[in-house]
Amino acid sequence: MDPFEDTLQRLREAFRSGRTLPAEFRAAQLKGLGRFLQEHKQLLQEALAQDLHKSAFESEVSEISISQGEINLALRNLRAWMKDEPVPKNLATQLDSAFIRKEPFGVVLIIAPWNYPLNLSLVPLVGALAAGNCVVLKPSEISKNTEKILVEVLPQYLDRSCFAVVMGGPEETGQLLEHKFDYIFFTGSPQVGKIVMAAAAKHLTPVTLELGGKNPCYVDDNCDAQIVANRVAFFRYFNAGQTCVAPDYVLCSPDMQERLVPALQSAIARFYGEDPRASPDLGRIINEKHFQRLRGLLGCGRVAIGGQSEESDRYIAPTVLVDVQETEPVMQEEIFGPILPIVTVRSLDEAIDFINRREKPLALYAFSNSSQVVRQVLARTSSGGFCGNDGFMHLILASLPFGGVGASGMGSYHGKFSFDTFSHHRACVLRSSRMEKIYSIRYPPYSPRNLRV
Ligand code: NAD
């Protein structure tokens, strides 16, 4: 018995009926999403606190208001985004009408991870609904309190004939992926991204893969160490480091490391107090498996700051590791926790070489008082996104595409990019049935006169 067949059948029929096409329908769904967020803000904050010990502030800025912002932007621009886009014409099409039509794909699947379980479910959903698709949303089973609200409450705010939230872990998702979707939008690890892409290939289904990796953070000698430390610590320890775009490791000279370690110590103490475990602002590790994995990484290099852990509440102290070798596990896998290794390099060239020898990251950061140095790092490397002199500020701008490159993913979204991602861009030419005399010069038998077309 296939648990998803009936749901998918319902959604396919709804899509074929054309119900999702009018702007009014799409706007009503987006408004429903907004009401869901506003009416259940507290419930959502509580669920996020239970899942990740997320503070109300972090829930607000990184989950709720960012989703609401995307809804508002889509509502303001929906009709403009939906409009046919006229394109320049050549001599042969001068008398025609030529345009790009943005069409929904059909029934699309969104698979979300646990680290920002609301944001990474709803922000793609905004794009999919705005573009006029029917949607199956599969939140992460690991952030189970948030998943429960998405499954039980969210559907009350949307047209159920066009939208479904389904539950499940790897096994159920595997079953789901056997079905033919018209588009799959996946956020998660590169390992599972490969499974999703292989399943999509069987049906020739297009995919967006929003994946992870190790995000380098280059710190030049020409920097105010305290300013760098404040910014790096904020973005590294936000959500207890469980952020796909968090700075994963620092690359700097031995000299800068000497200045950076006490500055990081001071930033951590100011942010989370002398006993970070008692801070209401520091998150916890999502589950036992990740806690044990991170505890293992604490054995790499030498602990310069933090290093404590407590299994009973899955606490890992904000940690800085030094004397780390490239070959150690902490430099081989995405850390995804509150641990920051520092790797020393002798020059900017060596740092760039270090970065370029690895998979292309989702994000790359460069700190320097010299804009030339920042621009050199930008010009000589590749990554999904880039920010000079701060953490993931590029991600909060809906006017920038958000996505990876190479092993960190393919495709992008946010703002209008989401609408475009979930739309097929149909190439259209409308020609009059008259003026056959003019058009007949292209027909055989060919002669030099055909070349004039
Ligand atoms: P994950 O890949 O383990 O799981 C993501 C989703 O896939 C979940 O819904 C899960 O149920 C499902 N899944 C897991 N195993 C599966 C399998 N074998 N077959 C089919 N489906 C399966 O990722 P995660 O642990 O939830 O999230 C962490 C990863 O996500 C990190 O690598 C992080 O960098 C990445 N991430 C990327 C972004 C981004 O925007 N690029 C954002 C957040 C997280």
This model of the complex carries an ipTM of 0.98
From ligand 1's centre to the CA of 148, what distance in Å? 18
Label residue 1 by pLDDT band (50, 70, 90): confident
The pLDDT value recorded for residue 30 is 98
| Residue whose CA is at the smallest distance from ligand 1 atom 21 | 170
- Residue 222 token pair: 């020409």
Mean pLDDT of 349-363: 98
| Residue whose CA is at the smallest distance from ligand 1 atom 19 | 170
With contact defined as beta carbons under 8 Å apart, do 215 and 365 qualify?
yes
**Beta pairing, strands 363-367 & 216-219:** parallel
Closest atom of ligand 1 to 169 CA is 11
Label residue 401 by pLDDT band (50, 70, 90): very high
Distance (Å, whole) CA 100 – CA 105? 15
With contact defined as beta carbons under 8 Å apart, do 380 and 387 qualify?
no
SS (H, E, C) 295-308: HHHCCCCEEEECCC
Most ligand 1 atoms within 8 A of CB, residue of 4, 137, 167, 173 to mutate: 173
Mean pLDDT of 333-340: 98
Distance (Å, whole) CA 215 – CA 193? 18
Count of residues for the chain?
453
**pLDDT over 90 for what percent of the chain?**
98
- Residue 125 token pair: 């959903």
Of 27-41, 239-253, 317-331, 437-451, the range with the lowest mean pLDDT is 437-451
From ligand 1's centre to the CA of 414, what distance in Å? 19
Most ligand 1 atoms within 8 A of CB, residue of 115, 195, 291, 412 to mutate: 115
Q: Outline where 101-240 has alpha helix (H).
A: 119-130, 144-152, 170-177, 190-203, 225-237
> In 3D, which of 341, 319, 338 has the Cα closest to residue 330?
341
From ligand 1's centre to the CA of 113, what distance in Å? 5
| DSSP conformational letter for 60 | I
Cα 174 from chain centre = 21
Mean pLDDT of 35-59: 97
- For 100, 183, 344, 356, 383, the CA distances from 428, given in Å and listed in that order, are 6, 21, 55, 41, 34
| Residue whose CA is at the smallest distance from ligand 1 atom 9 | 140
| Residue whose CA is at the smallest distance from ligand 1 atom 31 | 189
The pLDDT value recorded for residue 224 is 98
Residues in contact with 122: Cβ distance below 8 Å, sequence separation at least 6, in sequence order:
33, 37, 67, 70
The pLDDT value recorded for residue 452 is 60
Label residue 212 by pLDDT band (50, 70, 90): very high
Mean pLDDT of 344-358: 98
From ligand 1's centre to the CA of 328, what distance in Å? 24
- Ligand 1 first shell, C-beta below 6 A: 111-115, 120, 138, 140-141, 169-170, 173-174, 187-189, 192, 195, 210-212, 244, 334, 336, 362, 404, 409
Closest atom of ligand 1 to 195 CA is 19
With contact defined as beta carbons under 8 Å apart, do 306 and 321 qualify?
no
Residues in contact with 438: Cβ distance below 8 Å, sequence separation at least 6, in sequence order:
none
| Residue whose CA is at the smallest distance from ligand 1 atom 14 | 170
- CA atoms within 13 Å, Cβ hemisphere of 437: 0
| Residue whose CA is at the smallest distance from ligand 1 atom 23 | 188
Report pLDDT digits (tens) over 125-172: 999 999 999 999 999 999 999 999 999 999 999 999 999 999 999 999
| DSSP assignments along 379-411, one per residue | HH---SEEEESSSSGGGG-TTS-B---GGGEE-
Label residue 450 by pLDDT band (50, 70, 90): low
Distance (Å, whole) CA 29 – CA 126? 9
Closest atom of ligand 1 to 334 CA is 32
From ligand 1's centre to the CA of 71, what distance in Å? 24
| Residue whose CA is at the smallest distance from ligand 1 atom 39 | 210
Closest atom of ligand 1 to 190 CA is 32
Closest atom of ligand 1 to 112 CA is 9
Report pLDDT digits (tens) over 240-281: 999 999 999 999 999 999 999 999 999 999 999 999 999 999
From ligand 1's centre to the CA of 170, what distance in Å? 10
The pLDDT value recorded for residue 447 is 84
pLDDT at 69 over 80: yes
Label residue 448 by pLDDT band (50, 70, 90): confident
Cα 261 from chain centre = 30
pLDDT at 123 over 80: yes
Give the number of other Cβ atoms within 10 Å of residue 9's Cβ. Answer: 11
From ligand 1's centre to the CA of 281, what distance in Å? 25
| DSSP assignments along 312-371, one per residue | GGTEE--EEEES--TTSGGGTS---SSEEEEEE-SSHHHHHHHHHTSPPPSEEEEE-S-H
Residue 99: burial class (beta carbons within 10 Å; 0-12, 13-18, 19+):
middle
- CA atoms within 13 Å, Cβ hemisphere of 442: 6
Distance (Å, whole) CA 327 – CA 341? 13
- Residue 319 token pair: 């940690």
Q: Which residues are catalytic, by number? A: 210, 244
